Chain A
Amino acid sequence: MLVLTRKRNESIIINDNIEITVVDVQGEQVRIGINAPKSVSVYRKEIYLEIQAENKKAAEVKSIDLKDILK
C-alpha cells in the first residue's frame, strides 16, 4: 500500500479525476472529502463488506416457495 502523509486541507489526486482531501483531524477521527466523477462509487468499506456478506448469505436461499413463506 502506498502511504502518504498529509496535513489538514491537503489533498491527493488519483487518476486526474479523483481528489481526496483531509478536511479535518480531531484525535482519532479524520474527516475526508472526496471529489470524484458520478460514475465512481464511494463506500465506507465496512458497510460495503457487510452488504457483500449479506448478499452471499442471500444467494444461499434454498428452493422455497415464496408464496407459502408467510403462511
Chain B
Amino acid sequence: MLLNTRHFGEIEIDESKIINFKEGIPGFEDLKKFVVLYDGDETSPFRWLQCVDDGQLAFAVVNPFMIVNDYNIEIPEEIVSSLNIESIEDVMVLSIVVVPDDVSKMTMNLKAPVIINTKNNTGMQVVLDTDMYSVRHYIVEELRRREVNTGAGTNKEEK
C-alpha cells in the first residue's frame, strides 16, 4: 500500500510488515498500526516507527542496547503472554527518542521501551516497574561516555 508520510513523502508500505499495537501508544491510543523503517543504513542504531493509520505521525527510535551497553530489562510476564512471545530471538526492543532543537540534548526513553514480537507483528510500549531507568536518558552523553561505535557514520577522529 502507498502511504503519504510527513517525513518521507509517499512511500510504499509492505503490508506484511505492519505491526499491530492493540493499545496504541500512550498519548496516541487510537493509532494501532505502525511499521519500522530505516534511513538506508541498517547498521545505524536509529530507526523510524512510522504510523500507518496516520502518516503524519512517526517517532525516531533507537536500539537501546546499541547505546547503553548494560541496559538490562525484564519483559513482564503479562506482556510476554499478551504479545504471545515464544522466543527472545523474535523480540525487537526500541526506545522512543525526543529530538529537541539542540540535537545534542536528545533523549531516549529507557523506562518505557517499545517491545515488538517480530514473529506475529504485535507490539506494545511497556512501562517497566523499575527506578533504574529514566524516561529521558541523554543519548549523546552516553555515547561519549562509552565511546560506542554506533555504526551510524560516526567517525571517532572527528569528535
Contact = CB atoms under 8 A, between A and B. Distances in A.
Contacts of A47: 111, 127
Interface of A: 38-39, 41, 43, 47-48, 50-59, 61-71
30 contacts: A39-B78, A39-B82, A51-B111, A51-B125, A52-B26, A52-B27, A53-B27, A54-B112, A55-B96, A55-B125, A57-B98, A58-B99, A59-B27, A59-B57, A61-B97, A61-B99, A63-B7, A64-B60, A66-B44, A66-B46, A66-B48, A66-B60, A67-B152, A67-B153, A69-B103, A69-B106, A69-B152, A70-B152, A71-B154, A71-B155
Interface string B27-40: 11000000000011
Given A43-B127, A58-B97, A66-B44, 7 more contacts: A54-B135, A55-B25, A66-B39, A66-B48, A69-B46, A70-B140, A71-B158
Secondary structure dominating the interface of A? loop
Interface residues on B, range: 35 or more
The 4 A-B residue pairs with the shortest CB-CB distance in the complex, in nearest-first order: A66-B46, A52-B27, A55-B27, A38-B78
B109 interface: yes
A63 B99 contact: no
Contacts of B81: 38
